[in-house]
Structure formats: structure tokens, C-alpha cells
Amino acid sequence: MDRLGGLAGLGKKNPFAGLRWRRLEEPLGFIKLLEWLFAIFAFGSCGSYSGETAATVMCKSEADTEIKLISVPFGYPFRLYRQRYEMPACDDMERRILHLTGDFSAPAEFFVTMGVFAFLYAMFALVIYLRFHEEYTKIRRLPIVDLCVTGAFTFLWLVAASAWGKGLMDVKVATQPSSLVSSMPLCQMEKATCNAGSSPYFALANISVLFGFLNFIIWAANIWFVFKETTWSKKPASKEESAERGEVEDH
């Protein structure tokens, strides 16, 4: 009996015991779950991106005919001006330390920050839906607050995805191998032959932009379902209906 009582006590302390998983089958819970997952994909794919741009340099002098490979790694948060590389020397020229050009950290960091906050709010809202749904429907302010926050996230997702999409286009231009070649003074002289190397792969970064706009669409669609939970969507009872209810109660 003591063991059974102990097991019953553990069951009561289980934090998942009061969760109603069937709420995930409803639009309000299911869309919020998608928001939670897509936010992870958005900030994860952007924050974990890394690429590399490259070029080759070959001196025209007979003493030095070796082809030198220059590769410059870069990644989030895309402060390209901090990425340094060494320009080789030909003849009497000295080696120089150069940097990539551009700073695109603002749209990238805003996008990742937006994804993290959306992830946290979606997780918080899921707990409310699954564990405290009765309180959510009884307290009139909660659905209204949820509606306002959902509308704000919808707008911010559109801004973040658009800004990061434009920022990514600028990153692609700044990290082209041809841009690397044109930035080296040696390549503008007749002392060396410079060729563009392999281009960076932006598949993961492109996916992050895609998930940014998908998040905007999902949050925009969720506005309607959250609105249906508010008192604004529920029509007040007419005087005739109230009178009929009063007569029924009197009988």
C-alpha cells in the first residue's frame, strides 16, 4: 500500500500530467506548434551559417610561378570587415593584410533575435493552451493580449525576413570571388594573373530567409484563430434572447 501511495504521489507531481495534448489537434494549438518549430529553423539556419570565398593568384615573374590560393571564411553575424586575408607578393611587392568589405550584422542579428523571441513566446503560449486552457477562455484579457502579441510578431516577422533577405543579397555580392579579386591591388597590375575561385554556398542562408517568410504567413494565419477566442468575435445576446432566457428561468 505504501508503494502504491508513493507512485500515486509521483504521478501527481508529474508536470506533464495536466497537459491536454488533444489541444494540438485544434487550429489554435497546432499553428502555435508550427510557429515554435519554424522559429527554431529560422534562427538556427541563419545563426549557424558559414561560408568561404576564394581566388587564385599567379605571379608572372619567372622566379615565382606558383599558384597561390586565397580562401577567406565568413559567417554569422556577417561582419565581413573583420575577415582578414593575406595578399601574396610578387617581385618587389610586400605582403599585405586585407579585409573583406561590408557589415551586414544588423539585419542578421535582428532576424535571429526575432526568431529566438518568437520561439520563447510560442513555447509559453503552448503551455497556456495545453495546461491552462480553461483559465485562458475565462479571463477575457488573455486572448486579447495573445491577439495583440500575435499581430506584433506577424509584422515583425515581415520586417525581419525582408531586411535579412536584402542583407543576404548584399552579402552574396560582397563575397563573390570576383569581388575578392577586384579588392586586391596586386590583381590590378600586370605583375600577376588573378582568377576567381569557388563561390560560396548559400543554401542554408537561403533556407533561413524562406523560413522567415513562412513564419510571417503562419503568424498572420493565426491571427484569425486567436481573434475567435476573444470577446470581440462573440456577439452579445440580443434583448429578445435575454428575455426568453429570463422566462425559461422563471418557469
**pLDDT of 208-217, one tens digit each?**
999 999 999 9
- Say yes or no to pLDDT of 224 above 80: yes
- Phi and psi at residue 167, in whole multiples of 5°? -65, -40
Nearest-angstrom CA–CA distance, 54 and 184: 12
Q: What is the mean pLDDT of residues 191-208?
A: 93
Torsion region of 187: left, alpha or beta (phi above 0 gives left; psi -120 to 50 gives alpha): alpha
> How far apart, in whole angstroms, are the C-alpha atoms of residue 79 and residue 139?
47
What is the structure's pLDDT at 63? 67
Cell numbers that stand for 186 in this block = 596586386
How far, in Å, are 20, 43, 80, 220, 237 from residue 217 at the CA level?
26, 16, 31, 5, 34
The pLDDT value given to residue 18: 58
How far apart are alpha carbons 192 and 80 in whole angstroms? 25
Instruction: Give how far the C-alpha of residue 180 lies from the chain's centroid of Cα atoms, to the nearest Å.
Output: 29
The distance of Cα 195 from the centroid of its chain, to the nearest Å, equals: 35
**Percent of the chain at pLDDT above 90?**
56
Per-residue pLDDT, 27 = 79
**Which CATH number do you get for residue 159?**
1.20.140
pLDDT digit string, tens, across residues 70-120: 999 999 999 999 999 998 888 777 788 999 999 999 999 999 999 999 999
Residues 184, 60: Cα–Cα separation, whole Å: 16
Give pLDDT, residue 5: 47
Residue 250 pLDDT = 47
Domain membership flag for residue 113 = yes
Domain membership flag for residue 200 = yes
Residue 238 domain-assigned?
A: no
Mean pLDDT (whole number) for 61-75: 83
Domain encompassing residue 64: 25-231
- Angstrom distance (rounded) from CA 196 to CA 179: 9
For the four alpha carbons of 89, 95, 96 and 98, in that order, the dihedral sign comes to: positive
pLDDT of residue 249: 44
Mean pLDDT estimate for the chain:
84
Q: What is the distance between the alpha carbons of residues 99 and 19, in angstroms, rounded to a whole number?
A: 54
Residue 8 belongs to a domain? no
Q: pLDDT tier at 233 (50, 70, 90 boundaries)?
A: low
Helix, strand, coil percent content, the chain, rounded in steps of 5: 65, 15, 25
Cell of 36: 515554435
Coil vs helix vs strand at 229: coil
At 148 the pLDDT is 95
Domain annotation covers residue 166: yes
pLDDT at position 141: 86
In a domain, 127, yes or no: yes
pLDDT, position 89: 83
Question: How many domains is the chain built from?
Answer: 1
pLDDT for 76 equals 96
- Residue 239 included in any domain: no
Question: What local confidence, expressed as pLDDT, does residue 236 receive?
Answer: 54
Query: Buried b / exposed e across 35-55, counting CB within 10 Å, b at 16+?
Result: bbebbbbbbbbbbebebbbbb
pLDDT category, 13, cuts 50, 70, 90?
Answer: low
Query: Considering the domain boundaries, does residue 140 fall inside one?
Result: yes
Average pLDDT score over residue span 144-155: 95
- What pLDDT sits at residue 137? 72
Say yes or no to pLDDT of 195 above 70: yes
